[in-house]
Amino acid sequence: MTQLRPLMVPVLNVASPKPAGRSPRLDFLPLSKLRIDDSYQRKIERRGLSNIANICNTFDWNRFAPLIVARVPGAEEIYAIIDGQHRATAALVRGYELVPCAIVEATALEQPAIFAAVNGNVTPVTIFQLFKAARAAKAEWALDIDRVCTAAGLTALVYPKPKSEIKPFETMAIGTLRKLIIRFGTGEVTEALRHAAKHSAAAEPGFWTSGAIDHSVAEWRTAQGKRQEIGETSTISMAQRIRDLRKKGYSRFAIQAALRVKLADIEEAIGGGS
């Protein structure tokens, strides 16, 4: 059973607290009442459109964070979106009328500072944290990494370790493993790592770096007479490969980086498979 722990007050050196202002009001607001202030909001361009498409394709209210909005002075129940225009746009595309919002009291001059603070103070999610969460959720891409490592006798770490503490056959190369599995499949990567594990230095702590794993797969493929890059693939088979990877939980950008295809091709393949 999952072990749950309460929040704890950490030991921190913090400045004297300043007035926090009024608490936001939580409510569901009509999308028709929301507005975008182009003086500080980002234009929705190629990457933004891809993000919206991804939200639409995987839409789930359990993952929909409330928007942050502020009432527009002098307007009848009109609100400016401070944070969440991509989520709001995706909800609009999906045909929803209401979205959850945190309504704050902020002037037009204060809103850009809130936008910058919200988007600038986000704690980055590391590849280790992403892998750990995906594995707990039984996401196929994380299970693929586990399968490959188990078959090759490796242990994929879910947190970074100093070099002095790494044990034999432990690896922190989560991103590299994900990239290689996307590109060549679990079978080829497994065989390549099994072959590399026979090397005399393979049991040395710290051997299984990203560079070593990359080199091992490239060396094995060369020995098998295979191209280092993906072979000439028909449009139909590449589209199917993209759809298969998406079903396994790989993001559009992970597929793009590994297969070296355009985001437009990924969108076309996913659309063609839906």
Tell me the residue type at 56. C
Q: What is the mean pLDDT of residues 125-147?
A: 87
pLDDT higher than 70, residue 123: no
- In this prediction, residue 117 carries a pLDDT of 79
Cβ partners under 8 Å of residue 87, min gap 6: 55, 64, 65, 67, 99
Q: How confident is the model at residue 231 (pLDDT cuts 50, 70, 90)?
A: very low
* Residue pair 154/233 in contact by the 8 Å Cβ criterion: no
Tell me the residue type at 139. A
Q: How confident is the model at residue 256 (pLDDT cuts 50, 70, 90)?
A: confident
Do strands 34-35 and 79-83 pair parallel, antiparallel, or not at all (unpaired)?
Answer: parallel
Q: Rounded to 10 degrees, what is the CA torsion of 49, 50, 56, 59? A: -130
Tracing tokens 């090759």 back to the chain, one arrives at 152
Angle between helices 174-196 and 140-152 (to 10 degrees): 30
Computed over every residue of the chain, the mean pLDDT equals 86
Query: Distance (Å, rounded) from C-alpha 90 to C-alpha 140?
Result: 25
Max CA distance (Å), the chain: 75
- In this prediction, residue 86 carries a pLDDT of 93
pLDDT higher than 50, residue 233: no
3-state SS assignment for residue 273: helix
Q: How confident is the model at residue 273 (pLDDT cuts 50, 70, 90)?
A: very low
Query: Distance (Å, rounded) from C-alpha 222 to C-alpha 201?
Result: 20
pLDDT higher than 50, residue 198: yes
CA angle 184, 216, 155 (to 5 degrees): 85
The kind and range of the H/E element at 103 are: strand 98-104
pLDDT higher than 50, residue 234: no
More confident residue, 197 or 2: 197
Lowest mean pLDDT among 26-30, 78-82, 123-127, 175-179: 123-127
More confident residue, 211 or 39: 211
More confident residue, 257 or 222: 222
> In the chain, what percentage of residues exceed pLDDT 70?
93
Cβ partners under 8 Å of residue 192, min gap 6: 216, 217, 219, 220, 221
- In this prediction, residue 254 carries a pLDDT of 75
- In this prediction, residue 228 carries a pLDDT of 53
Alpha carbon 150 to chain centroid, angstroms: 24
Q: What is the mean pLDDT of residues 45-64?
A: 89
More confident residue, 232 or 230: 230
Q: How confident is the model at residue 122 (pLDDT cuts 50, 70, 90)?
A: low
- In this prediction, residue 65 carries a pLDDT of 93
The kind and range of the H/E element at 69 are: strand 67-71
Is the CATH number of domain 25-120 3.90.1530.10? yes
Q: What is the mean pLDDT of residues 17-26?
A: 84
pLDDT higher than 80, residue 6: yes
pLDDT higher than 60, residue 229: no
Q: What is the mean pLDDT of residues 109-130?
A: 79
Do strands 98-104 and 25-30 pair parallel, antiparallel, or not at all (unpaired)?
Answer: antiparallel
Tracing tokens 């933004």 back to the chain, one arrives at 48
More confident residue, 120 or 126: 126
Query: Distance (Å, rounded) from C-alpha 221 to C-alpha 235?
Result: 23
